[in-house]
Structure 1
Amino acid sequence: MRMAGVVTGSRWMAIAGYSLVGAATQLVWLNFAGVTTVAASRYGVSESAIGWLAQVFPLLYVVLAIPCGLILDRWFRAGLIAGALLTAVGAGVRLIGDDFGWLLAGQIIASVAQPLVLNAVTGITGRYLSPKDRPTGIAVGTASIFAGMVIAFLLSAVFTTAADLPIMLTVTAAFCVLAALFLLFALRNQGPFEVVRHGPVRGALRIAWGDSLIRRLCVLAIFPFGVFVAMSTFAQALLEPAGVSGGTASTILLVNVVAGVVGSAVIPILVVRRNAESALLVVSLTVTAAACTLLAFAPGVLVGFVAITLIGLLLLPALPIVLELVERRTGEAEGTAAGLIWMAGNLGGLVVAVVVGLLVDHPTAAFLVMAAIALIAVPGARALRRPIAELRAQSPL
């Protein structure tokens, strides 16, 4: 292997293009999260059917995470560009006909694209940023993914009626097309830190899964992902018996994700500089457990705002921290390793959401289950201190 060309400075335009496309994937995914009822009315289907427009994303991610990671490890730019274009195509397909079938077809196309985009967050930083800038790049790229969720919630707050839905879908498609075009322009040249590989990447999955630290990070990712997805899915239903209205619950969740965007953009950079990755993971999981316990025994508007905002602020930054460790640890298999992390997280989201969904009529028990899931992961986060210190000694920033 050799470095391609002359190594120059970091190319942040590539990160900007990636960030736009990352946000676009989440926008398509969650377009209907805030307008489930009116969408069901417009398209003549049940609310459960509208829910499947979002659920196909994590389901297909679990299936496609590893194959897409292997594609990125072999053909990075082509794979990422394909993900951007498929996201735009999926958003456009939803405009062909005003019925549920075209919506589902578009969602499936975009859900195939999502792992090609999200798995690439470590690869694009490794190829286009110098080592000292990579933690910042991963933080920005990951924060943009959460920012896409915020945009989805804001659009659903603006386009609230059944008659508004075609306009919302048109705005989304335009955003996706513009994001894809920007990324195409930003990736017109090979990254200055690109590693030229002669021949196929062999055994990328074996390399990634054979690393004990990657395996431990995959297991750890299940827990924060699981709690966040379950909280985002069922917070409104769990808080309703305490007198929290649907509108207030939606606002709480929006603030939660905004706090996560801010936290993901700032906290990982500070943590990496202070070599405090393990400590931050322990703190975020412990605070999450405490917040869920507080919600179990004292639910209400104020507690909901404070507790769920803290969860977003501290729990979501765990993802870029884990991904930064993956980027430092892996070389030619970084796409597959990132795919393993995302797959584990999505699997955790599905499992924990199912468990919490079964307890949706018992809010105290549901919140306590989420608290327990967060606490279970604390010893694993604490045990990462030594392998992270060894990794830091091997590959200092």
Structure 2
Amino acid sequence: MHEPRSRWSMVAVFALLGAVTQVLWVTYAPVADAAGRYYAVGDGAVGWLANVFPLLYVVLAIPAGIVLDRWFRGGLAAGALLAAAGAVVRLLGDTYVFALAGQLVVAVAQPLVLNAITGVAGRYLARRHRPTGIAVGSASTFAGLIVGFGLGTVFADDIAALLVVQAALAVAAAAAVLAVLRTPAEHRTEAAPAGFGALRIAWGDPYIRRLCALVFVPFGVFVTLSTFAQPLLEPAGVPEETAGLILIANVVAGVAGCAVLPVLASRRGWELALLTTSLLVTIGACVVLALAPGVVTGFVALALIGFALLPALPIVLELTERRAGRSEGTAAGLMWLAGNLGGLVVAAVVGMLVGEPLLAFLLLAVLSLLTLPLLRSFSRVSTSVPARSPTS
């Protein structure tokens, strides 16, 4: 019997939705000062319009994964509708209350969308195409950050127009996803166990737990550099505008890495080798930033970190999809939960060292170094063996 065909239309519309959720997340980051004036609030209040996303992800990652494992099409449809609804809520008034309410709704949608990366690949793509599908889904989230910052630059002086454009993108993405979801998936249609059964299966697998531990620091390093690169590089004479360009280069390099490295890793069986390399590159780049910070080293080091470190996410998600079987949504939720916790914890610690860039960058290098021994607990054979049979 031939394996059902791959439906790339689902991957395409899902990638659009994934990108839009990230656009909505960083809406106010590139226009923080203008948003503060528009809503008549301080920098702290504007910061919360983005900070609610990782905080709610920590709370909702597992419930969203359970929903996707049991009712994948309904869960993803809900995520699409919530993302569009949140973007529209922000248009209902020009006060901070509507802005925060809209961001909260989108933040609820985000785990339903991002946890579905592995599910889309598993349900709509043939086995040989799934690494590519996961890489595309992951890369779309990083591409969304680039688009979000780009839109902020274009509409820096017109917050109202910025919100209208983003709402139109969100509604269009939701409509496209709902249209494609009308056709049932042809791959892996068996539902996961009811209640917390999927969580017990996923967390009960030591391999999944090790993957969670593995993503904690790399995700935390990326979030920390995205948050504090500008103040950490400022003492070395790097202007704020240049730091923004450095961060864009970091994400662009990451999207390029996601387009190449995860697929290569899956085809050649190089997953663990590339994960090890990503950590080594991160360690070296952070040491360079600690000892010789500057414009040139900032561009080169953060571009290398982006190219090597960001593809670690789709690689880990592909290993998760291959391993977790019918509990893949919950397992993916565990990965995102661990990553967001890493972002919160590592960023909080480094945030106390913003005035000491040398120590901050060296700490990131040491944390990455301490993650390397975790890779020794993995083997190529174990990446191919499901935690449970789909019929168990």
> What TM-score, normalized to structure 2?
0.96
1:105-120 correspondence runs (5 A) = 105-120=101-116
CA contact (8 A) 2:151 2:162 kept: yes
1:390 to 369, 376, 382: 382
Q: Is the 8 A contact 2:192 2:198 kept in 1?
A: no
Q: Does 1:28 align with 2:20?
A: no
Cα shift at 1:201: 6.3
Root-mean-square deviation (CA, aligned residues, Å) is 1.6
2:86–2:102 contact (8 Å) kept in structure 1: yes
The one-letter code sitting in structure 2 at the alignment partner of 1:36 is A
After superposition, the Cα gap between the structure-2 partners of 1:187 and 1:300, relative to the gap in structure 1 and judged at 3 Å, is same
Q: What is the deviation of 1:195?
A: 1.8
The alpha carbon displacement at 1:372 in A equals 1.1
Q: Is the 8 A contact 1:7 1:192 kept in 2?
A: no
Structure 1 counterpart of 2:375: 381
The within-5 A match list for 1:304-319 is 304-319=298-313
Change (3 A) 1:394 1:98: closer
* Equivalences for residues 168-183 of structure 1 within 5 A: 168-183=162-177
Gaps of 5+ in 1: none
- The 8 Å contact of residues 73 and 201 in structure 1, kept in 2 or not, is answered as no
Amino acid in the other structure paired with 1:48:
G
Separation (CA, whole Å) in 2 of partners of 1:198 and 1:248: 48
Match of 2:350 among 332, 351, 356: 356
Q: Counterpart of 1:392 in structure 2: which amino acid?
A: S
Q: Which residue type is aligned with residue 157 of structure 1?
A: T
What corresponds to 1:234 in structure 2?
228
Amino acid at match of 1:314: A
Q: Deviations over 1:255-276 (max 9, x none)?
A: 1001111111211001111101
Q: In the aligned structure 1, how far is the partner of 2:302 from the partner of 2:193? A: 48
Instruction: Assess if the C-alpha contact under 8 Å between 2:323 and 2:386 holds in 1.
Output: no
1:206-238: CA deviation from partner (whole Å, max 9, x where unpaired): 000000110000011101000000000000011
**Aligned residue number for residue 263 of structure 1:** 257
- 2:329 equivalent in structure 1: 335
| 8 A Cα contact 2:70 2:193, kept in partner | no
Equivalent residue letter for 1:389: V
Look up the SS of the partner of 2:325 in the other structure: coil
Give the counterpart of 2:215 among 195, 212, 221. Answer: 221
Give percent identity, aligned residues only.
57
1:323 corresponds in structure 2 to 317
Residue in structure 2 matching 1:69, options 56, 65, 87: 65
CA drift at 1:389? 2.4
**Where in structure 2 are the equivalents of 1:178-189 lying within 5 Å?**
178-189=172-183
> Shift in Å at residue 66 of structure 1?
0.5
Q: Structure 2: state its 5+ residue gaps.
A: 388-392
Distance 1:391 1:284 in 2: 19
* Residues in 2 aligned to 1:19 and 1:322: alpha-carbon distance in whole angstroms: 18
Contact 2:325 2:386 in 1 (8 A): no
Whether the 8 Å contact between 1:225 and 1:345 is mirrored in structure 2 is yes
Q: Pick from 284, 289, 295: which aligns with 1:295?
A: 289
Q: 2:160 aligns with which of 148, 163, 166?
A: 166
CA distance in 1, matches of 2:385, 2:337: 28
Contact 1:226 1:351 in 2 (8 A): yes
Partner of 1:58: 54
Name the CA shift for 1:157/1:48 in 2 (closer, same or farther; >3 Å): same
Q: String of CA shifts for 1:149-175, please: whole Å, max 9, x gaps.
A: 0101111111122xx111111111111
